[in-house]
Chains A and B, each alone.
Chain A
Amino acid sequence: MTSNGFWSMGGYARYVWPCFGFALAVLAWNLWSARRHLCAARLRARRELQMAGIDP
C-alpha cells in the first residue's frame, strides 16, 4: 500500500472512508428498519386476528 494507494486515498482518507462508511450505515439502516416494520405489521395483524377469535 503506497502513500497514494488504496487506504490513504491520496491523503483524502479522512473524507473518503467516512463517506463510504456512512453510505453503508444508511443502506444497512434502511434494510433493518424495513424488516422491523414488516415484522411489526405482521405481529399487529396476527394479534388483531387472535383478538377477533380467528386463529391464523
Chain B
Amino acid sequence: MWTWFYKLASPPYVYGVAAALVPWFLGGAALALMYGLIAGLAIAPPDYQQGEAYRMIYVHVPSAVLSLTVYTVMAAASAVALIWRIKVGHAVAAAAAPVGASFTILALVTGSLWGRPMWGTYWAWDPRLTSELILLFLYVGVMSLRSAFEEPSRGDRAAALLATVGIVNVPIVHFSVVWWNSLHQGATIVKLGTPSMPGSMLWPLLSMWLGFMLFFAAVLCLRLQGEVLNRERQSTWVREAVKS
C-alpha cells in the first residue's frame, strides 16, 4: 500500500491517474448534484421560519465548506511539496487555488443573496463573513505570488509557504460562530450529537455537498494534468502523453 504513495510522487503516474479519474468524478458529481437539486428544490418541504428562501442552503453550504476544504488540500499539498520536495505537490496546490477562490466567491455571493431577505442586509462585518473574505484574499495572494517570479519553481515554493502560513484562517472561519457573537447561524451538521435538521432537508444537502466534492475532484484532476505538463515539459514521458 505504501508503494502506491510513492507512485503518487511520480508526475507521469499522477498524470495518467488524473486523466482516468476525470469521467468518473464528473459522472458521480452529475448524479449527486441532480438528486440534490431536484430533491432540494422540489421535494423538501419549506422551512417554518424562512419559507422557501432557505433552499439557498443547497448551494451556499456546499460552496462554503468546499472553500475551506480546498484551501486545506492546497495547504497540505504545499506543505508536502516544501517538506519532502515532491514537485507534484506544487502542481496540486497550483491546480486547487483558482477552484477554491471561485468557491469562496460563490459562498460569499450566495450568502449575500441569502442574507438580504433574512437579515435585511447584503453584507455585515461579522466574524464569519469577514474571515471568509480574508480567505478569498489569501487565495488571491497565493495565486499572485506564484506568478510573480521569473523562475516558476521559486514562485511555486514561495506560494507554498504562504499557503501553509495562511492555514490558520481555516479554523478561524469554522469556529468564528462559536468564539464570537455572530449574525451567522451556528453549526447544524458538523457538531457533536445528531444534526439539527430533518431528514428530508438533510439528504439533499449531503448530496449537494458530495456532488460539489466530486466536482472539485474532477476539476482538480483536469487542472492537475495541465499543471504537471507545464512543470514537466522537458521530460521524455511527455512525448507519449501529448500524442493525439
Contact = CB atoms under 8 A, between A and B. Distances in A.
Interface of A: 4, 6, 9-12, 15-16, 18-20, 22-23, 26-27, 29-31, 33-35, 37-38, 40-42, 44-46, 48-49, 54, 56
Interface stretch (B97-105, B135-143, B170-178): B97-105
A12 B223 contact: no
A24 to B, nearest CB: 9
A23 B55 CA distance: 13
Nearest to A49: B239
Contacts, number: 105
Contact of B114 (A11, A15, A33, A56): A15
8 interchain residue pairs of minimum CB distance: A10-B52, A41-B226, A34-B222, A23-B59, A12-B53, A41-B229, A9-B52, A38-B226
B56 A30 contact: no
B114 A31 contact: no
Contacts of A19: 56, 59-60, 109-110, 113-114
A40 B230 CA distance: 9
B51 interface: yes
A12 to B, nearest CB: 4
Contact of B110 (A22, A38, A46, A54): A22
Contacts of A49: 238-239, 242
Majority-rule SS of B interface residues: helix
A6 B42 contact: yes
25 contacts: A9-B53, A10-B52, A15-B116, A16-B56, A19-B110, A22-B110, A22-B113, A23-B63, A23-B106, A26-B63, A26-B103, A34-B223, A34-B226, A37-B226, A37-B227, A38-B223, A40-B226, A41-B226, A42-B226, A42-B229, A42-B244, A45-B233, A45-B238, A45-B242, A46-B242
Contacts of A42: 226, 229, 242, 244
Interface of B: 37, 41-42, 46, 51-53, 55-56, 59-60, 63, 98-99, 102-103, 105-106, 109-110, 113-114, 116-117, 215, 218-219, 222-223, 225-227, 229-230, 233, 238-239, 241-244
A30 B53 contact: no
Given A16-B55, A27-B215, A38-B226, 20 more contacts: A9-B53, A16-B53, A19-B114, A20-B59, A22-B109, A23-B110, A26-B63, A26-B103, A30-B215, A30-B219, A33-B98, A34-B223, A37-B226, A38-B222, A41-B226, A41-B227, A41-B230, A42-B229, A56-B242, A56-B243
Contacts of A56: 239, 242-243
A56 to B, nearest CB: 5
B233 A48 contact: yes
Contacts of A40: 226
Given A10-B53, A15-B117, A38-B222, A29 B102 contact: yes
